[in-house]
Amino acid sequence: MDIGSKLGYPASALSNFSPYLFVFEGVECASMEGLLQSFKINEVHIQVEVCKLVGIHAKRRGQKRNEVWKQVQRLWWKGEEYDRHGREYQELLDWAFDALSENIFFQKALLASGDSTLTHSIGSSDRTKTVLTENEFCSRLGKIRIRLQK
């Protein structure tokens, strides 16, 4: 199943653009896209505001910081700097998706994907160009789905 915001359910509902309320480390998030885009910003108060954004609005806000983070290959969360290629950043992504997985509507969409292989063809596989590769995204969804199915 290819995940994308313009596809049918449940593929569209698994997109990071989907509006799902969840709390990540005390910060209210309106979508995974908002949280992911906030990682590009090193000012905590601006991160909190970006976390409230959904879909294309979140993506556009984060695009303003693409040149900066790509140049240094660093991302930020609550005043902490993360190497894009480091283990700590991968743990941050794990925690973020675990927080999202607490949302019951997200859980239902993920379970509705059944046992299909999850892909994200519009996603990038190059870690130097994206804060979340296709593999990082789909593998986390797969692990959460297995946990929910038990």
Query: Residue range 121-145: average pLDDT?
Result: 95
User: Is residue 69 predicted with pLDDT exceeding 90?
Assistant: yes
What span, in angstroms and rounded, lies between the C-alpha atoms of 19 and 114?
21
What span, in angstroms and rounded, lies between the C-alpha atoms of 64 and 72?
15
The CATH number corresponding to 12-149 among 3.20.20.140, 1.10.357.40, 3.40.50.300, 3.30.60.50 equals: 1.10.357.40
Domain residue spans in the chain?
12-149
User: Is residue 96 predicted with pLDDT exceeding 90?
Assistant: yes
What pLDDT score was predicted for residue 46?
Answer: 97
What span, in angstroms and rounded, lies between the C-alpha atoms of 84 and 86?
6
User: Is residue 123 predicted with pLDDT exceeding 90?
Assistant: no
* Percent over 90 (pLDDT), the chain: 96
For 100-111, write each residue's pLDDT tens digit. Answer: 999 999 999 999
Query: Residue range 3-25: average pLDDT?
Result: 96
User: Is residue 129 predicted with pLDDT exceeding 90?
Assistant: yes
**The residue type at 127:** R
